[in-house]
Amino acid sequence: MLFHVRMDVAVPRDLDPDERTRLVTTEKARALELQRSGTWVHLWRVVGQYSNISVFDVDSSDELHEILWNLPLFPFMSIAVTPLTEHPSALSANP
């Protein structure tokens, strides 16, 4: 199942700088791991914002839920999830 996910991050400005560095570093490592496994299929930055647009390929909405809830920066995120399905006019649907 494919999901379009928008993540807007709002880390508090008064968060301890060392904690912020730790969170950002572990978030990046987790994102790279999920990309290498084929789960986090696309990851794009939203220009001028601390946000991204991503596509996840998972077996279920429950799996996506667990992935998102376990991201290190999750406590500081607003997340919008949209399930995706192939469009009938997509080239892949009409070889």
Across the 95 residues of the chain, what is the mean pLDDT of every consecutive 10-residue run? Answer: 98 96 98 98 98 98 98 98 94 85
> Is 27 a domain residue?
yes
In a domain, 94, yes or no: no
The verdict on residue 43 lying in a domain is: yes
List of residues 6+ apart from 47 with CB closer than 8 A? none
What is the pTM (predicted TM-score) of this model? Answer: 0.91
Distances in Å between the Cα of 3 and the Cα atoms of 37, 63, 79 are 16, 11, 12
What does the pLDDT read at residue 80? 98
CB atoms within 10 A of CB 16: 10
Judge whether 93 lies within some domain: no
Task: Provide the domain limits for residue 7.
Answer: 2-88
- Report residue 44 as tokens: 């794009």
Residue-level pLDDT at 63? 98
In a domain, 56, yes or no: yes
Total domains, the chain? 1
Domain for residue 67, yes or no?
yes
- At residue 28, the pLDDT reads 98
- Does residue 15 form part of some domain? yes
Q: Is residue 36 part of a domain?
A: yes
* pLDDT of the residue at 54: 98
Domain of 8, CATH number, reads: 3.30.70.1060
pLDDT value at position 95?
81
